[in-house]
Amino acid sequence: MDDARNLLGDVLAPERGRVGSGSMRIYTRKGDDGTTGLYFGGRVAKDSALPTAYGTVDEAQAFIGLARAEAQPGSELDQLLVAIERDLWVLMADLATDEANRAKLVAGETLVTDAMVASLERRIDDLSARFTMPSEFVVPGGNRVAAALDVARTVVRRAERDSLAAAAPGSRVIAYLNRLSDLLWTMARWQEGDSLTARAVAPLAGEAEKGA
């Protein structure tokens, strides 16, 4: 899948060949030259700033989906993660649009808004009020869903770093990703209950005997 329009589910390019009733080919061959199409047109190198940024957001979305697969279907966690996954389509559209076409973006649909960032902050505040937050570093892996949320958090952090070179002036993408990583950390601690903190780690096997 070689361009942002296809990644984001926009109308498929007319030259894509039909392979059956109501279906289209998944490949276009356009990207064989190392370029990729942006959301409202234009082509750039696949390793340039915009594809790198929205590609990492795509990766983050996939890891959040992996965490959601560990959640009880229909649970509060499941619903929260679905909402985040949907938000990330907005981020990818925002990042996949050339500066010349940004006027075509629609707030909340293809353009990240202050309201989207504020929504994450409210979720962080709500969850963190339900339990005592750890006051030091936490050892990941309390349970499967918490571990998956921690992995997703690290990918979101990378997406934030990658987006620094790609986000347009005034974009709220960076703020959203920053709050999202905080939310995922909070969700992981919420899901594992009693977190194992760094200072509480027992000595490695054999170390206690060495010190005796």
In DSSP notation, 77-100 reads HHHHHHHHHHHHHHHHHHHTS-GG
Tokens 């389509």 belong to 89
Contact yes or no for 54/160 (Cβ under 8 A):
no
User: What residues contact residue 20 under an 8 Å CB cut-off, 6+ apart?
Assistant: none
At 18, the pLDDT band (50, 70, 90 cuts) reads very low
The tens digit of pLDDT for each residue in 164-205 reads: 999 999 999 999 999 999 999 999 999 998 777 777 555 555
pLDDT of residue 16: 37
How would DSSP label each residue in 133-162? PPSS-B-S-SSHHHHHHHHHHHHHHHHHHH
CB atoms within 10 A of CB 82: 14
The tens digit of pLDDT for each residue in 59-112 reads: 999 999 999 999 999 999 999 999 999 999 999 999 999 999 999 999 999 999
3-state secondary structure of 127: helix
pLDDT of residue 195: 76
Rounded to whole angstroms, how far apart are CA atoms 168 and 171?
5
- Global pTM? 0.84
Element (H, E) at 20: strand 18-20
